């Protein structure tokens, strides 16, 4: 009884043990799920919305004033963060790096970057509201 499975590796069929094929499939599914969580978590967060430009059309004066106050409050909150946290914010939102790129630069996993950003969002959200 042969316990091998043929999988595609770099476009070529390769015979691997069934356990390896199952592991690869689980890893692929885990990465897909993480990517979906990343998209939901950071795709258009309140933080990004406040940091984005104030819009392409001329909003009412009241709305512009509120957005300016929110932005100033957010800037002050970011200034109160420690240097490492400010660096993470600058990499993600200033340089618009992906979590994977930030992880490589900082020597941490993409998951660690995601968790740190989530904590920063919570911290900043609570100091802004």
pTM of this prediction? 0.50
Say yes or no to pLDDT of 98 above 90.
yes
pLDDT band, residue 59 (cuts 50/70/90): low
More confident residue, 99 or 45: 99
CA distance 5 to 21: 7
Name the CA radius of gyration of the chain, rounded.
Answer: 21
Range 45-129 classified under CATH 1.10.10.10? yes
The whole-number average pLDDT for the span 100-117 is 93
Domain boundaries, the chain: 1-43, 45-129
The DSSP annotation for 19-62 comes to: HHHHHHHHHHHHHHHHHHHHHHHHTT-HHHHHHS-S-SS---HH
């Amino acid at each position: 009884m042969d316990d091998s499975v043929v999988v595609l590796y770099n476009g070529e069929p390769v015979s691997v043990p069934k356990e390896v094929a199952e592991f690869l499939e689980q890893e692929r599914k885990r990465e897909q799920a993480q990517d979906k969580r990343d998209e939901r978590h950071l795709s258009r967060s309140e933080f990004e919305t406040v940091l984005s430009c104030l819009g392409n059309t001329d909003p009412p004066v009241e709305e512009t004033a509120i957005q300016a106050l929110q932005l100033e409050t957010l800037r002050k909150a970011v200034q109160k963060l420690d240097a490492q946290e400010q660096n993470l914010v600058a990499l993600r939102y200033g340089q618009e790096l992906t979590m994977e790129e930030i992880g490589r630069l900082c020597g941490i996993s993409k998951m660690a970057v995601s968790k740190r950003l989530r904590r920063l969002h919570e911290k900043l959200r609570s100091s802004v509201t």
